[in-house]
A and B are shown apart, each in its own frame.
Chain A
Amino acid sequence: MTVLATVGYYEDWWIQLLKALVIFAVVFQFVPIVLLAERKILGRFQHRYGPNRVGLFGALQPMADIGKLLFKEQFRPNGSVGWLFALAPAISMFTAVAVLAIVPFSNTVDIFGTQVGLYGIDPSIGILYAFAFGGIAFYGLMLGGWASGGKYAFLGSMRAAAQLISYEIAQGLALVGLIMMAGTLSLTEIVQYQEDHLWFILPQFVGFIIWLVAGFAETNRPPFDLAEADAELVQGYSTEYGGGRFAAFYAAEYLNIIVVSAITVTLFLGGWSIPGVDPPTWVDPIVVLVKTLLLVFLFIWIRATLPRLRYDQLMSLGWKVFLPLATVNALVTAILVVET
């Protein structure tokens, strides 16, 4: 049998299961928090308070929203394709959660005498795993828009397809230099490399910028939210969705932001490491989460700042600027890596 990928550290199946549940349960708590934080921070950026009526300082607003959405009627338009229509939000949700598995929160730690790696899995193909599920995530958006049978939804999904595919190339190429420097695809080993050397944000600054901007595009966040573009396309691919399925799309979007931020932290911002400080291992997951939330804040900040790109601007930025820049970055890094 051909081995497609090996994992860095083997564990019993029940530990795996427990880890998966804990990681999902902890990180999923951040979805409503980010949801509320976005609305409140966006409000502050626009001279207003944001939601502050439900619960203390509006803290229960996401719960109220989710409750409202879940108790709505499940409907689907006449022209839609039933099973695809139901499948699309599930794909979006599944891929967002699946990428979570490779985010390392810490190295292997000693819990009650057992060695446990604080990550879902540590496959040797690490980043490729993220890209693979990122690739499947397009289907959530594309099928969602196409299966709705509405023109706005269709336009949105066409834009999503074009945008996501063009930016995935630049995103992948932006990481090539980083991978060459680290000499590994495994995310834990990349973080270990950053612990010993510099954080990759410094030697790979160009790669970081391309990765981050492409990350905005991949998560469909402003200024790259052309797939939603509420001013032009009503709500884009999710126009015809309502109730629980819309809630799934919505939650997947925010989960995607958290996951992309967490992967960025792992790749470029040193994961659990703090330069010059060597904290006890139990601090590591907190460090990762704090860095992730800071990046999420950057996502919101950018949303408040930049207007949406026009479609041709988006395409020329992706193909004419980021793709050559990422290629040059990979080339220069390759020369430097070979030289030293």
Chain B
Amino acid sequence: MPYDPGPDVVEVVRAPKGGPVRGTYRAFGETLRGMKTVLGRWAEGPHTYQYPEEKTPVYPRFRGRHKLHRFEDTGLEKCVGCSLCAAACPADCIRVVAAENTPDNRVSAGERYAAVYEINLSRCIFCGYCEAACPFDAITMGHDYELSDYNRSDLIFTKEMLLAEPLERTPLRSAGE
């Protein structure tokens, strides 16, 4: 009695049957088909990036190293030292020390500015909560992912480093890539 899968099943794929001749034919045929497929992969050409010379492009929403921003017209820092990012950070890697803006020393657009703004990238988990918590879009996740260094202390990024434009831009993936 053959197994009845019921009315819901449209088709049951069973193992191929056949004697030694058909088996041999199948084994040969399938081997040759496999070899043709493999050769076709060669014809397609490599799908790799030559990494150190050619960086892997990232998607626009890729969460890489953080960036701090300034206002483009006035050049003032967007960060007002509110420490919301530090509060939102699950890895506790952001340290902010705020100071008052004075008329002589005007750093940010708000009342206060971040005198110290440090991100310890050896602890950061790149979750992007700081970006979400920031009320002024002062901190965003950038596209840099080459973040290895020889010293742990070198991975503590200060405000100046975060404000600066990266030396090399990471390529961005175009639509459909």
Contacts and interface: CB of A to CB of B under 8 A. Distances in A.
Contact of A305 (B35, B44, B46): B35
B42 interface: yes
B35 A43 contact: no
Contacts of B41: 44-47
Contacts, number: 34
Interface in B28-48: 31, 34-35, 37-39, 41-42, 44-48
Interface of A: 41, 43-49, 301-302, 304-306
A45 B42 contact: yes
A215 B42 CA distance: 25
Q: State which size class the interface on B falls in.
A: 10 to 19
A48 B47 CA distance: 6
B48 A306 contact: no
Taking chain B's interface residues, is the majority helix, strand, or loop, or is none over half, making it mixed?
helix
A254 B44 CA distance: 28
A43 B46 CA distance: 8
A48 B45 CA distance: 8
Interface of B: 31, 34-35, 37-39, 41-42, 44-48, 50
B46 A48 contact: yes
A153 B38 CA distance: 32
Contacts of B44: 47
Contacts of A301: 35, 38-39
7 contacts: A41-B42, A45-B39, A45-B41, A45-B42, A47-B44, A47-B45, A305-B34
Contacts of A41: 42
Contacts of A305: 31, 34-35, 37-38
A16 B135 CA distance: 88
A305 B38 CA distance: 6
